Amino acid sequence: MHLSAVAAAAELRGAHVTQIINDVKLLPGQAAARAAVVNDSVNAGTAVRTGADSRSELTFLDLTITRLGANTIFSFNEGARQINLGGGAVLLQVPRNGAEAKITTVAVTAAITGGTALLEANKGFPTKLLMLEGIGRFYPTGHPEQAAIVHGGEMAMMTVDGQIMRPTKFNAALVYKTSKLITSFPTLPNADLILAVIDEQQAGQLGGPSSPSSPSGTKDLVDVISTSVAASATPSSSSSSGGGGGGSSKFGPPSAITSPNPYVITSGTVINTDPTITTNGMTNFGKIYRGAALDGPLPTWLGSSPSSFDSVDFFDSNSSGGFISPDSKTLPIPAFLFASLQLAGDPTVFNSSGYPTLGLVSQGDITSSPTGAVFTFGGIQQVGLIALNGSINLSGISFANFGQLFIYARGTGSNLTLAAPISNLNKVQLRAENDIQINAPVTVNGTAQDNRGFKALAGNNLVASSTVNSHQMILQSLGGITVTSSAQLLSMLDASGNTGQILILASGSSGAINVSGSIQAEQGEVDIRQTGDTGQTTLNNAT
């Protein structure tokens, strides 16, 4: 019994909401987001988000206190005594003689032992840790051996380029007097320890007590109030424009989810388009892309840069934006960025905001696990699978019963191999900067204009070796195209009586079109074009 009690006390368990100021939402891993109320329980796997000019306090069973600033996203891991900060500002107070607790961001971790700390982390700005009392360790996430030791009255900082600066003193009295994470809430249990640090700091700097607001009292101290870490911590990006409401931490470039690597989406994964993603009790955060006018080119927003192939579009496209500036009908896009990604099971998707597109983006390869899972993504309107600089190889799974599927293997030499069957979708678009191989049957049945058809665009060669059935079809390549003897390209009359159409277009200077399979467009046309200087078209036992 005694050992069990000690183990339970060592975990961050049983958090409940003890104070709410303005807009605070809970994002449970298995349900839609909802407004928080005082005494709400918050368990591992549930994220908390505060809006603009909003704050909240959570208290754990071991009396650890967490206060969240404006525009902050937060979750925690019980066993690891770890708080996950997706962005914003947080105050953490660990009871004196309490077990160490950690605040972790993508880039940096702060470990607090029996102390009180403020931490702010926002994309594009330095991350700062202010120790009001006690001792903290501040280190790049995953590298505790590089920790800087931070004492009460000291501040540590990680620069935008990832360098951890030597701890320096800050004006603890000024922070204690003005921080909304302190002044908006009841007196902290460790307040006497904070005041002791302030007294010691003032005595050391001034030779005796004085007013905390005295200009002379800050000569050798870092005045952090102007950085907003200790106040309301409101980032400069728009708070709601085009994104369906909520705090500005939903917007701005996404940070990559680097652990686990690859990130494995399973049948137990829960995706909330607010946006959060939870797997195995760990919640990570995405961002919302609102279009090029607000957020810049999509490749740049994702941490890359536009390529010439990004702007290449399909032959029948009515827009010129390509991947660089997605069509407004697909916006806004809640997106998650991973170091690499594996698809193993169909996730649960909550889309209470009604966003049209879900983006799952990998910096490297996207693969699948041969589980036989059928991916429906909760029937969302459109799903984008994008490898920014890697290949996509999908097999042992399938896709069915949702709107549109967009798959893009981006980057020099990146290939797309589709050996995952697709059925009962309205529209499918495949893109690869190098080769595309279609090895599984595809059935697309959308009938609405601009929301139908099968399209594949390869920067090099495209090979179809399976059945593709769609009312409209485009196979387009900047190199060559092969339709093997095992392939069937079928474009039949749709329910509205529209005739079938198939276009095969190869534009490589010496690329070839080789057709050995069956091609049929019911009461319509099959258009085969080779526009290269020395290219050729071969029909070999084709039907």
pLDDT score, position 341: 98
In a domain, 543, yes or no: no
Whether residue 402 is predicted with pLDDT greater than 50 in this model: the reply is yes
The predicted model gives 441-454 an average pLDDT of 84
In a domain, 236, yes or no: no
Phi, psi (deg, nearest 5) at residue 452: -155, 165
pLDDT score, position 496: 61
CA distances from 280 to 161, 259, 264, 283 (A): 31, 12, 10, 8
In a domain, 530, yes or no: no
- Lookup result for tokens 């409401």: 245
Asked whether 155 and 224 are in contact (CB, 8 A), the reply is: yes
pLDDT score, position 494: 65
- Residues 208, 326, single domain; the answer is no
Please count the other Cβ atoms lying within 10 Å of the Cβ belonging to residue 125.
15
User: How is residue 401 annotated by DSSP?
Assistant: S
The predicted model gives 110-121 an average pLDDT of 92
Whether residue 90 is predicted with pLDDT greater than 60 in this model: the reply is yes
Whether residue 304 is predicted with pLDDT greater than 60 in this model: the reply is yes
In a domain, 334, yes or no: yes
- The per-residue pLDDT for range 43-77, each reduced to its tens digit, is 888 899 998 889 999 999 889 999 999 888 888 87
The predicted model gives 274-295 an average pLDDT of 86
**CATH code of the domain in which 65 resides:** 2.60.120.1440
Candidate from 200-204, 237-241, 431-435, 515-519 with smallest mean pLDDT = 237-241
- The per-residue pLDDT for range 195-214, each reduced to its tens digit, is 999 999 888 754 443 333 33
pLDDT score, position 139: 95
pLDDT score, position 218: 34
State how many domains the chain has. 2
pLDDT score, position 80: 67
- Residues 143, 260, single domain; the answer is no
Please count the other Cβ atoms lying within 10 Å of the Cβ belonging to residue 236.
10
pLDDT over 70 for what percent of the chain?
86
In a domain, 368, yes or no: yes
Q: Residue 35 burial by CB count (10 A; 0-12/13-18/19+): exposed, middle or buried?
A: exposed
In a domain, 539, yes or no: no
pLDDT over 90 for what percent of the chain?
54
Where are the alpha helices (H) located in 230-355, listed in sequence order?
Answer: 292-295, 298-301
In a domain, 12, yes or no: yes
- Residues 162, 298, single domain; the answer is no
Encoded amino acid at 361, one letter: V
- Residues 91, 133, single domain; the answer is yes
- Residues 43, 151, single domain; the answer is yes
> Which residue among 411, 439, 460 closes a domain?
460
In a domain, 239, yes or no: no
> Which residue among 404, 425, 460 closes a domain?
460
- Residues 270, 374, single domain; the answer is yes
pLDDT band of 240, cuts 50, 70, 90: very low
pLDDT score, position 211: 36
Range of the domain at 313: 252-460
- Residues 207, 265, single domain; the answer is no
Burial letters 173-199, b for 16+ CB under 10 A, else e: bbbbbebbbbeebeebebbebbeebbe
- Residues 152, 291, single domain; the answer is no
Whether residue 369 is predicted with pLDDT greater than 90 in this model: the reply is yes
pLDDT score, position 5: 36
Whether residue 118 is predicted with pLDDT greater than 70 in this model: the reply is yes
pLDDT band of 234, cuts 50, 70, 90: very low
CA distances from 213 to 178, 180, 181, 223, 233 (A): 10, 16, 18, 11, 21
pTM: 0.63
- Residues 309, 380, single domain; the answer is yes
- Residues 207, 258, single domain; the answer is no
The predicted model gives 3-24 an average pLDDT of 68
pLDDT band of 251, cuts 50, 70, 90: confident
Cα–Cα distance measured from residue 142 to residue 478, given in angstroms and rounded to the nearest whole number: 43
- Residues 151, 271, single domain; the answer is no
The predicted model gives 242-263 an average pLDDT of 71
- Residues 42, 168, single domain; the answer is yes
- Lookup result for tokens 């010129």: 320
> Which residue among 405, 435, 460 closes a domain?
460
Query: For 487, what's the count of Cα atoms within 13 Å in the CB-facing half-sphere?
Result: 24
- The per-residue pLDDT for range 483-528, each reduced to its tens digit, is 999 999 999 766 566 778 999 999 887 779 999 999 998 878 899 9
The predicted model gives 130-149 an average pLDDT of 93
**Residue 283, token pair as written in the block:** 């919640």
